[in-house]
Amino acid sequence: MREAPDSYYLPDFCAGRSVAVVAVVCQLLALVMVMSRAPSLEPTGMVLLKVSLFLHWLGLMCALALCGARRGLARLAPVALSAAAFAIVVATTAALSVGAWYALRWAGYGHELGAAELVAFALRNAAVSAIVGAVLLRYLYVQHHWRRNVEREADSRIQALTARIRPHFLFNSMNTIAALVRSQPVAAERAIEDLADLFRASLADARTRVLLAEELELARVYARLEDLRLGARLRVEWRLPEALPEAMVPRLVLQPLVENAIRHGVEPRPEGGTVAIALRVGDQALELEVTNPLPVPGGELPDGNRMALENIRERLALAYGGRAALEVVERDATFRATLRLPREARP
């Protein structure tokens, strides 16, 4: 069977491990139901045995039904998947309850009970199944997304490190520094310090927050290194307010946008171009905007830029959920990336 898509959050009920978990849950539920029942003349052990057998039968049949429906459920969106799985569990419980009722009647038990008791028995079991099923589905959904977020965060970190420390950038920077050592030793020394700062930030935990001023300085460091290589072809304009707020932002969230602007917007153009970095400060949010020319008038940026932008969006989703966004606009031979972040005060 093909691997289920990321939106499929149910475990594989065809696997022995999942069946074992279902059996454990059914046994725990049986214990709770027996311990909370009203006192009766029948021994508690006998009642526990009967309830356990019935619940294990229900649980295993529900697992079997979900196993058989796995291929169809895997094609559904999360909401439809939840509704379908919930309906399968409740319907299976109701059907088996009716079947158990008639099996007991056939075995000679409960002849004095009528249709009303049958309906009440089936509805009661279906209600219990609905409650337990809803809780378990919610738990599985949350657990699945938590696990996926952990995996994506790890992948995002690896991608971020790979994107930030590209071999070509390292080699270009080292070649530039080597060319400056004799002619401009002071500039070469500063370039080495800048490169060390950039590597230090790239190797730090990408999930940490830093001051906005630190993130802006890191972007300046990168721009200075590229300025040594591109010379007059690269022009950088900083449009910042006089006083920067002491706001916290994710590490390495602006520098990649500046890197993309230079690498994909300015470097391919023989005449170079201008990269503009602007900051707008609101009461509740910050806007960082990076503008650069497209490689050719009316052209489009390469796929590498798209992948880097998706990487940033994924990091924002992990850090802020839906409270942050990265929007891009291509218009009049200009590429504009706008980063909107919630304004978080320094702790």
CATH number of the domain encompassing residue 322: 3.30.565.10
Structure tokens at 62: 């529900």
The strand pairing partners of 342, in sequence order, are: 285
- Comparing 302 with 101, the larger pLDDT belongs to 101
Whether 44 shows a pLDDT value over 90: the answer reads no
pLDDT in tens, 157-216: 545 544 554 555 667 777 778 877 877 888 888 888 877 877 777 666 656 788 999 899
Are residues 100 and 39 part of one domain? Answer: yes
| 291: confidence class by pLDDT, cuts 50, 70, 90 | very high
The strand pairing partners of 280, in sequence order, are: 287
Are residues 317 and 195 part of one domain? Answer: yes
Task: Tell me the mean pLDDT in the region 116-137.
Answer: 84
pLDDT in tens, 129-158: 888 888 888 888 888 877 777 666 655 654
- Comparing 337 with 14, the larger pLDDT belongs to 337
The pLDDT assigned to 161 comes to 47
Which stretches of 165-231 are DSSP H helices? 167-183, 185-203, 212-230
Are residues 191 and 152 part of one domain? Answer: no
The answer to whether residue 62 sits within a structural domain is yes
Are residues 243 and 330 part of one domain? Answer: yes
The pLDDT assigned to 114 comes to 65
The pLDDT assigned to 184 comes to 81
Are residues 151 and 48 part of one domain? Answer: yes
Are residues 65 and 209 part of one domain? Answer: no
The strand pairing partners of 276, in sequence order, are: 237, 291
Contact 277, 219 (CB under 8 A): yes
The answer to whether residue 125 sits within a structural domain is yes
Are residues 132 and 181 part of one domain? Answer: no
Whether 257 shows a pLDDT value over 70: the answer reads yes
The answer to whether residue 237 sits within a structural domain is yes
Are residues 144 and 178 part of one domain? Answer: no
Are residues 181 and 69 part of one domain? Answer: no
Are residues 213 and 79 part of one domain? Answer: no
Boundary residue ending a domain (161, 178, 208): 161
The answer to whether residue 6 sits within a structural domain is no
Whether 1 shows a pLDDT value over 50: the answer reads no
Give the Å distances, CA to CA, from 24 to 62, 81, 271. 14, 24, 70
Whether 58 shows a pLDDT value over 90: the answer reads no
Which stretches of 8-106 are DSSP H helices? 16-35, 44-68, 70-73, 78-106
Half-sphere exposure of 173 (CA within 13 A, CB side): 22
The pLDDT assigned to 196 comes to 81
Q: Which secondary structure element, helix H or strand E, spans residue 165, and what is its range?
A: none
Boundary residue ending a domain (95, 127, 161): 161
The answer to whether residue 10 sits within a structural domain is no
Structural domain total, the chain: 2
Domain range spanning residue 105? Answer: 16-161
pTM over 0.85: no
Are residues 206 and 90 part of one domain? Answer: no
Are residues 154 and 193 part of one domain? Answer: no
Cβ within 8 Å of residue 97, ≥6 positions away: 58, 121, 122, 125, 126
The pLDDT assigned to 335 comes to 92
The answer to whether residue 129 sits within a structural domain is yes
| 238: confidence class by pLDDT, cuts 50, 70, 90 | very high
The answer to whether residue 88 sits within a structural domain is yes
The answer to whether residue 250 sits within a structural domain is yes
Q: What is the mean pLDDT of the chain?
A: 80
The pLDDT assigned to 225 comes to 86
Whether 4 shows a pLDDT value over 60: the answer reads no
Boundary residue ending a domain (93, 127, 161): 161
